[in-house]
Amino acid sequence: MIEVENVHKSFGDTHVLKGITTSFEDGKTNLVIGQSGSGKTVFLKCLLGLFEPEEGQICYNGQFYSELSTSERRDLRQEMGMVFQGSALFDSMTVEGNVMFPLDMFTKQSKAEMQDRVDFVLERVNLIDAHKKFPSEISGGMKKRVAIARAIVMNPKYLFCDEPNSGLDPKTAILIDNLIQEITREYNITTVINTHDMNSVMEIGEKIIFLKDGFKEWEGTNKEIFKTDNEAVTNFVYSSELFKKVRQMYIEERN
Amino acid sequence: MKVKCTSLFLFLWLQVYFWRMKYLEAIGKYFIMVYEVFKKPTKWPIMRSLILKEIDELIFGSLGIIIFIAFFIGGVVTIQTALNLNSPFLPKSLIGFATRQSVILEFAPTFTSIIMAGKVGSYITSSIGTMRVTEQIDALEIMGVNSLNYLVFPKITAMLMYPFAVAIAMYVGILGGWIAAVFGGYAPSGEFIKGLQMDFESFHVTYAFIKTLVFAFVIATVPSYHGFYMRGGALEVGKASTTAFVWTSVVIIILNYILTQLMLG
């Protein structure tokens, strides 16, 4: 579980995060949504420990990040998995090499044990015949799956995803969303996803936080987002005609 | 008029101040980077394979161009020396002597380093810079890897082999000079070799290798700095490579002067 308490972050005169307080539970897919420039990425980087908040606390399963020593922070980082927007695969390594990298770096497992684990996670993300391929030789959806495999290979407690389905077709995007949700539940991971994708919000948003101008404007579930009267949320989520109609139908059905 | 002059002076003073601060900040950041490179080392089996890969890429991959340039530079030095020694009172052995001194003291260590700053430096900046723009460095950081140690340390270690490349450049440069002298008809082989052996000071070779080691460190770290701290996209990677080459060359030339003054002056 991650608890965030009154987090503030500024860059020079720009106050990006203005007192965010929330919590992310284990085994749930938590989504952070908001317009570009609302502070989502900075918030995610604060959760990852890449940025340190000027004010406020972030607590990982009872451990306050600001109170940890450098080595304890490093150990904590090894409990985190991250799926980047652009996948961030090491392009000089094969798919197998990418997934094996954290094991090779941080464990004392034998080559055979590491190979078994890599085969297992690649199979888990439905990538069976891509072991020896380089990132440049696989599709965007496959890259995301390799990134997920790399993120979960060390059995992380926390999984962070920055727009995991950006640039993917709707079908592949749903597959990636479902895969992240399945993995979250299966391994009881605390997952935080930054997204713009409203399909993801509706499909896997077990907890949704809406950021606006650095403030937490709203929080709730994908069921509650249909009912909310918060104007900023409805303007953002239902900005497309399709979603406006879906919401209208939902309200009519409810009445 | 007086107010205008004062504001212009103030404006110029502020420009110089901020320019100076920018460079001071960059120099400070460079030394912090160098310190970080040696902290929290990567596991030895992984580091060993990275070092071997970099030796192959940075040193063996550059031998061809080093040999090619050294050979022809040696030849050119010989021809130019011969053409300027047109007094019948000057022995032909001086051609060999001048070639040896020029190649060992300057051309092999410094000229080759400038070439390496272009070839190896741009490779280092662009490879690290591309990793930066594609978030691969962020991925390393999040995994808990000391990305500077992982990326830069193998390059510094591989560049410790650079004096061997310069030794080859010295040999090939002198060989190029001998071929130019003998086959160009500027000096007989015996005279040229006599000049090569004349007043030989082994400290000159030591000086050249010490210089080479310092340049090797500069060639590995200055481009790494420009790649690691770059921001932007593909275009900025190209710009960073050019900037890295310019700064590496500038640092090499300044250090060349300082080291020469300290060791030979």
The answer on A193 and A119 residing in a single domain is no
ipTM: 0.82
Report helix, strand or coil for A32.
strand
Optimal mutation site among A51, A76, A77, interface B, most CBs of chain B within 10 A: A77
The answer on A66 and A101 residing in a single domain is no
pLDDT, tens digit (0-9, with 9 covering 90-100), for A202-214: 888 889 999 998 8
Model confidence at B1, pLDDT cuts 50, 70, 90, reads low
Q: Do A105 and B141 touch (CB under 8 A)?
A: no
- Can you give the pLDDT at residue A251? 75
pLDDT, tens digit (0-9, with 9 covering 90-100), for A107-126: 888 999 999 999 988 988 88
Structural domain tally of chain A?
2
The answer on A164 and A62 residing in a single domain is yes
- Can you give the pLDDT at residue B141? 87
The answer on A172 and A133 residing in a single domain is no
Domain ranges of chain B: 1-37, 42-263
Contact A30, A193 (CB under 8 A): yes
Count of other CB atoms within 10 angstroms of residue B119: 17
Q: Do B143 and A50 touch (CB under 8 A)?
A: no
The C-alpha atoms of residue B57 and residue B59 are separated, in whole angstroms, by 6
Residue B177 has pLDDT above 90, yes or no: yes
CA distances from B111 to B37, B54, B73, B170, B253 (A): 28, 22, 9, 11, 10
Transcribe A14-28 into DSSP letters. Answer: EEEEEEEEEEE-TT-
The answer on A130 and A7 residing in a single domain is no
Count of other CB atoms within 10 angstroms of residue B34: 16
Q: Of the residues A123, A153, A183, which one is the last residue of a structural domain?
A: A153
The C-alpha atoms of residue A210 and residue B243 are separated, in whole angstroms, by 42
Closest CB to A105 among B43, B138, B142 = B43
Residue that has been written with the tokens 């002198």 in this structure: B174
Closest CB to A80 among B43, B138, B142 = B142
The answer on A132 and A22 residing in a single domain is no
Q: Do A84 and B138 touch (CB under 8 A)?
A: yes
| Mean pLDDT score across all residues of chain B | 92
3-state helix, strand and coil shares in percent for chain B, rounded to the nearest 5: 85, 0, 15
Task: Tell whether A249 is covered by a domain.
Answer: no
For residues A220-231, give the mean pLDDT: 82
- The fraction of chain A above a pLDDT of 90, given in percent, is 33
For residues A223-241, give the mean pLDDT: 81
The C-alpha atoms of residue B160 and residue A71 are separated, in whole angstroms, by 31
CATH code assigned at A164: 3.40.50.300
Task: Tell whether A254 is covered by a domain.
Answer: no
The answer on A217 and A187 residing in a single domain is yes
From the CA of A109, how many Å to the nearest CA of chain B? 13
Residue B239 has pLDDT above 90, yes or no: yes
**What is the number of residues in chain A?**
255
What residues pair up with A160 in beta bridges, in sequence order? A82, A192
Residue B105 has pLDDT above 90, yes or no: yes
The answer on A69 and A4 residing in a single domain is yes
Inter-axis angle of helices B112-133 and B61-84, nearest 10: 150
- Can you give the pLDDT at residue B259? 95
The C-alpha atoms of residue B14 and residue B2 are separated, in whole angstroms, by 18
Residue B2 has pLDDT above 90, yes or no: no
CB proximity A134 to B under 8 Å: no
The answer on A75 and A110 residing in a single domain is no
Helix (H) or strand (E) holding B179: helix B162-183
Model confidence at B151, pLDDT cuts 50, 70, 90, reads very high
Task: Tell whether A59 is covered by a domain.
Answer: yes
- Can you give the pLDDT at residue A116? 93
Name the residue type at position A179: L
With 0-12 / 13-18 / 19 or more C-beta atoms within 10 angstroms meaning exposed / middle / buried, residue B19 is: exposed
Q: Do A104 and B145 touch (CB under 8 A)?
A: no
The answer on A142 and A96 residing in a single domain is yes
For residues B206-220, give the mean pLDDT: 96
Q: Do A105 and B134 touch (CB under 8 A)?
A: no
The answer on A60 and A7 residing in a single domain is yes
Task: Tell whether A241 is covered by a domain.
Answer: no
- Convert B77-100 to b/e letters by CB count within 10 Å (16 or more is b): bbbebbeebeeeeeebbbbbbbbb
- Can you give the pLDDT at residue B47? 94
Contact B136, A90 (CB under 8 A): yes
CB proximity A82 to B under 8 Å: yes
The answer on A119 and A173 residing in a single domain is no
Give the residue on A whose Cα is nearest the Cα of B136. Answer: A88
Task: Tell whether A211 is covered by a domain.
Answer: yes
Q: Do B143 and A105 touch (CB under 8 A)?
A: yes
User: In terms of residue numbers, what domain contains A200?
Assistant: 1-79+156-222
Q: What is the count of residue pairs from A and B with beta carbons less than 8 Å apart?
A: 43
